[in-house]
Amino acid sequence: EAISVADFAKAVSKKATEIVAKLIKLGVMANINQVIDAETAELLADEYGAMVEIRKLDHEHLLSTEDDIQENLQSRSPIVTIMGHVDHGKTSLLDSIRSSAVVTGEAGGITQHIGAYNVDLGSGKKIAFLDTPGHEAFTQMRARGAKVTDIVILVVAADDGVMPQTIEAINHAKAAGVPIIVAVNKIDKPDANPQRVMQELAERDLLPEEWGGTTIYCNISAKERIGIDNLMEMIMLQAEILDLKANPEREARGTVVESKLDKQRGAVSTILVQNGTLRKGDIVIAGTCYGRVRAMFDDRGKPINEAGPSTPVEVLGINGVPEAGDLAAVVADEKTARQICTSREEKVKNTELTSKGKMTLDDLFSHMQSGTIKELGIIIKADVHGSAEAIATSLEKFPSDQVKLRIIHKGAGGITETDVNLASASNAIIIGFSVRAEPKAAELAQREGVDVRLYNIIYEVVEDIKKAMEGLLDKQV
């Protein structure tokens, strides 16, 4: 399998320039974007004690269908996450979707909370919903490298309008490049004003279709179950546009969405299969755990023997509890599984020792020179909205032909764990203005190698970025 120098560098957490140097020693002249053949990759992999096998099992390649045979690719159901401000009705919407699905679905099924569930719309149409709503869980998984959402449903209460967490949700979905469908909820309320919601969101790049934009809006009441069927249809419509594909013929790959130790059943993991088909008896690795699939259950607790793409399943037989966001993949045999897990554990240890190769202002200049960075993602948190705006404005008009500054998120308040996860997932830095990082957030930033910079004078923010671009920034200790 061929791989580019840049991808290889990423896979073994080294600088691309270092790989280029190694290649030269091996007698191969290559630049960063060049593709090296499988044999050379193996040689290099040996040097780094990594296995090419590991990379194949990395998240980045999980959803890539490039090595699948075209004829085997089939449409798959969309995977959906619900986001929105607190109390705007995320949980109510999930419940109302689930219970209507139970009513129309097979009789006798008691729904189990396994972290995700499938809704059958009939005539072969299905939607998978993740059970943990909100952008915090979404971005936490993303910070681990997981990509488990095709479409975000943004719930906005029609009597309350756009709120701080609505904006956060938009920014988190955008940073992930996931399309948004707006569900304007609580339209049963007398003071509901869906028009106002549209107006407020149109200002944030979510221009409704009826106003010439591309964003789908649905008026719903999660409580009174109004407009739910229409919302489901709109999800299917968006899914069609996305043209989601998977290859049910291959060995399964997916993501762990939940796992727990059950008194009776032992270690239980919910895996959302994203490509391939998972079968009873398969050897599966999940994070640094592995095992033979002893039994599988669907979201109704019904035993099943196989699960295709976009299906969440409870799996018994894994020798531990992997973390949500861990990659799950089927491998040939137990020996391979053991080997991969051992080297993964080492890799985890190593990446904990070295920083994770995250973007920092100190490194900006060298990244610019080696051409490995085109834009610098920035998250701004300030004591008041006005300051965040002011910093964003001055950074946005920052002149640079080499690196684009992209404000991923800006808001008022201290730096939270969710901010750090967003920065980690988007390889961005965080600028705090007259605020501090919450203790847990500071800890996480340290662990993840996320660059957090604190300021009290706006001018100094701009000055530091300028210096960083010129390679003149004093190293922060």
- Give yes or no for residue 172 binding ligand GDP (CB under 6 A): no
Collapsing DSSP to helix, strand or coil, 390 comes out as: helix
Residue 193 CA to residue 214 CA, distance in Å, equals 21
- Taking the complex as a whole, how short is the minimal distance between the CB of residue 162 and ligand GDP, in angstroms? 14
- Taking the complex as a whole, how short is the minimal distance between the CB of residue 182 and ligand GDP, in angstroms? 14
φ, ψ of residue 412 in degrees (nearest 5): -95, 145
Burial of 273 (0-12, 13-18, 19+ CB in 10 A): buried
Q: Which of residues 215-234 bind ligand GDP (CB under 6 A)?
A: 221-223
Residue pair 376/451 in contact by the 8 Å Cβ criterion: no
Q: Is 135 annotated as a binding residue?
A: yes
Q: How many residues bind ligand GDP (CB under 6 A)?
A: 15
Q: Is 291 annotated as a binding residue?
A: no
- Taking the complex as a whole, how short is the minimal distance between the CB of residue 148 and ligand GDP, in angstroms? 20
Query: Which DSSP category does 436 fall into?
Result: -
Span of 17-25, 30-38, 79-87, 142-150 interacting with ligand GDP by CB under 6 A: 79-87
Q: Which of residues 91-110 bind ligand GDP (CB under 6 A)?
A: 91-92
Q: Is 409 annotated as a binding residue?
A: no
With CB under 6 A as the contact rule, the residue among 76, 142, 144, 186 that binds ligand GDP is 186
Q: Is 186 annotated as a binding residue?
A: yes
- Give yes or no for residue 84 binding ligand GDP (CB under 6 A): yes
Which residue in this structure is represented by tokens 């290889």?
8
- Give yes or no for residue 280 binding ligand GDP (CB under 6 A): no
Burial of 122 (0-12, 13-18, 19+ CB in 10 A): exposed
Q: Is 248 annotated as a binding residue?
A: no
Pairing of strands 125-130, 79-84: parallel
Q: Is 124 annotated as a binding residue?
A: no
- Give yes or no for residue 188 binding ligand GDP (CB under 6 A): yes
Tokens at 80, concatenated: 């959906």
Tokens at 17, concatenated: 């320039």
- Give yes or no for residue 135 binding ligand GDP (CB under 6 A): no
Instruction: Considering the complex, state which of residue 222 and residue 392 has its C-beta at the smaller distance from ligand GDP.
Output: 222
Residue 132 CA to residue 196 CA, distance in Å, equals 28
Q: Is 59 annotated as a binding residue?
A: no
Numbers of helices and strands, H then E, in the chain: 16, 23
- Give yes or no for residue 83 binding ligand GDP (CB under 6 A): no
- Taking the complex as a whole, how short is the minimal distance between the CB of residue 160 and ligand GDP, in angstroms? 10
Burial of 125 (0-12, 13-18, 19+ CB in 10 A): middle
With CB under 6 A as the contact rule, the residue among 47, 67, 87, 233 that binds ligand GDP is 87
Q: Is 393 annotated as a binding residue?
A: no
- Give yes or no for residue 189 binding ligand GDP (CB under 6 A): yes
Residue 393: closest CA among 356, 427, 433, 354: 433
Residue 111 CA to residue 299 CA, distance in Å, equals 6
- Give yes or no for residue 184 binding ligand GDP (CB under 6 A): no
Phi-psi region of 328 (alpha: psi -120 to 50; beta: other; left: phi over 0): beta
Residue 314 CA to residue 280 CA, distance in Å, equals 11
Span of 184-192, 258-266, 393-401, 403-411 interacting with ligand GDP by CB under 6 A: 184-192
φ, ψ of residue 230 in degrees (nearest 5): -60, -40
Q: Is 87 annotated as a binding residue?
A: yes
Residue 452: how many other CB atoms lie within 10 Å: 23
Residue pair 392/407 in contact by the 8 Å Cβ criterion: yes
Residue 355: closest CA among 476, 441, 448: 448
- Give yes or no for residue 203 binding ligand GDP (CB under 6 A): no
Q: Is 188 annotated as a binding residue?
A: yes
Q: Is 451 annotated as a binding residue?
A: no
Q: Is 85 annotated as a binding residue?
A: yes
- Taking the complex as a whole, how short is the minimal distance between the CB of residue 84 and ligand GDP, in angstroms? 6
* Distance from the Cα of residue 82 to its chain's centroid: 14
Residue pair 58/145 in contact by the 8 Å Cβ criterion: yes
- Taking the complex as a whole, how short is the minimal distance between the CB of residue 92 and ligand GDP, in angstroms? 3
Instruction: Considering the complex, state which of residue 56 and residue 189 has its C-beta at the smaller distance from ligand GDP.
Output: 189
- Taking the complex as a whole, how short is the minimal distance between the CB of residue 317 and ligand GDP, in angstroms? 33
- Give yes or no for residue 88 binding ligand GDP (CB under 6 A): yes
- Give yes or no for residue 166 binding ligand GDP (CB under 6 A): no
Instruction: Considering the complex, state which of residue 185 and residue 277 has its C-beta at the smaller distance from ligand GDP.
Output: 185
- Taking the complex as a whole, how short is the minimal distance between the CB of residue 341 and ligand GDP, in angstroms? 37
Q: Is 399 annotated as a binding residue?
A: no
- Taking the complex as a whole, how short is the minimal distance between the CB of residue 85 and ligand GDP, in angstroms? 7
Query: Which DSSP category does 437 fall into?
Result: B
Annotated binding site: 84-91, 131-135, 185-188
Q: Rule CB under 6 A: which residues touch ligand GDP?
A: 84, 86-92, 185-186, 188-189, 221-223
Annotated binding site for GTP: 84-91, 131-135, 185-188
